[in-house]
Copies of this chain bind each other. A is one copy, B any other.
Amino acid sequence: MEFDPESLKFDSNGLIPCIAQDVDTREVLMMAWMNAASVARTLGSGKVTYWSRSRQAFWVKGESSGHAQTLAELRFDCDRDCLLALVRQVGPACHTNRRSCFYTAVRGGAEVEIMEPVAD
């Protein structure tokens, strides 16, 4: 069946969450949002392209930082309301320069940072 980005289920703002996972290490890198047009751009260009809610603009990951995400495969879930992008990540995915945005764990009731920023 041909895939149509409009067939996904978007929230009231026209957005769908997209989880980015490193295709090789399987590390979950980040979660950000896409609209139908950014899904189409991601598939068309192979460059993972989110929708920035703060800037209300396309956000080609790494365009300014150089920390690009190349799409290996796009998947979606049974409810068609969440995306999983398997990516090849250049450098850190997080704006704090950590490999993943999920660098804080809850251990013994306390917040623990489990990941150091990558050296430039």
With contacts A3-B110, A110-B3 known, is A31 near B43, CB below 8 A? no
Number of copies: 2
List A46-75 residues whose CB lies under 8 Å from chain B.
73-75
Cross-chain contact of A84 among B77, B102, B109, B110 (Cβ < 8 A): B102
With contacts A3-B111, A19-B28, A26-B27 known, is A95 near B78, CB below 8 A? yes
Query: Closest residue to A98 on the B side, CB-wise?
Result: B78
Collect the chain B residues with CB atoms within 8 Å of residue A38's CB: none
Q: A105 interface residue, CB < 8 Å from B?
A: yes
User: Least Cβ distance of A79 to chain B in Å?
Assistant: 7
Is there contact, CB below 8 Å, between A31 and B3?
no
- Provide the bound-state CA to CA distance between A94 and B102, in Å: 23
Collect the chain B residues with CB atoms within 8 Å of residue A36's CB: none
Q: A120 interface residue, CB < 8 Å from B?
A: no
Task: Name the 10 nearest CB pairs between A and B, nearest first.
Answer: A26-B26, A77-B101, A75-B102, A84-B102, A31-B82, A78-B101, A74-B106, A1-B111, A3-B106, A75-B105
